[in-house]
Chains A and B, each alone.
Chain A
């Protein structure tokens, strides 16, 4: 039981570290494509965060939140990719 009490905050801290690295790449990315890839990865990490929150709180409706978030993230990534084609957003 003590290991569980210690483990869950460590897992949430690890996923927040992932979010921090994605935010670093969003702010410091040399090209626009780097920022779009980091936004895509950040959306995937957030699904994992919602799953861990679902385990901690025990509320099963958070799975719907994860599913809808994955849908919206997919549409947003495709829209960003479609916007990027043919544009010179670099430098």
Chain B
């Protein structure tokens, strides 16, 4: 019974991973790709880890796996935030149909994003 529950969780996790990677390939913009792929792939990998821990079912492995899951949930969002901030500061332009850019309005970006912001607003 544990094996069936674990396999179901792993299948759901792999589907989330595939949808996140399709978003990574198909979306038009760096920021859209970060948003889609990071959330979906982190949730999918968390579900895969939970399913494998349910299948194994030993206490030390469960403790280590819970530590690994918490660490991944924290660090992936931190890494995605740092990458998106670095991309904006290095002048990667937004998509043509983007409607708002709060980070450039705060005036913390470099000259490149401000030019892209003017293009987006005109």
Chain A interface (Cβ < 8 Å from any Cβ of B): 4, 7, 11, 14-15, 17-18, 21-22, 24-25, 31-34, 36-38, 40-41, 44-45, 47-48, 51-52, 54-55, 58, 60, 63-64, 66-67, 70-71, 73-74, 77-78, 80-82, 84-90
B76 within 8 A of A: yes
Closest 8 CB pairs of A and B: A33-B87, A77-B79, A81-B82, A74-B75, A84-B86, A81-B86, A21-B21, A18-B21
B56 lies within 8 A of A78 (CB): no
Q: Pick the contact of B41 from A7, A41, A55, A82 — CB < 8 Å?
A: A41
A31 lies within 8 A of B10 (CB): no
Instruction: Tell me, rounded to whole Å, the shortest Cβ–Cβ distance linking B83 to chain A.
Output: 5
A31 lies within 8 A of B92 (CB): yes
Give the total number of A-B pairs whose CB atoms are below 8 A apart. 163
Within 8 A of A (CB), among B31-62: 33-34, 37-38, 41-42, 44-45, 48-49, 51-52, 55-56, 58, 60-61
A–B Cβ pairs within 8 angstroms, 29 of them: A7-B11, A11-B11, A14-B14, A17-B18, A18-B20, A21-B21, A21-B24, A21-B25, A25-B33, A33-B86, A37-B24, A40-B79, A44-B45, A45-B45, A48-B14, A48-B44, A51-B51, A52-B48, A60-B56, A60-B61, A63-B65, A67-B67, A67-B71, A74-B76, A77-B82, A82-B82, A85-B86, A86-B90, A89-B90
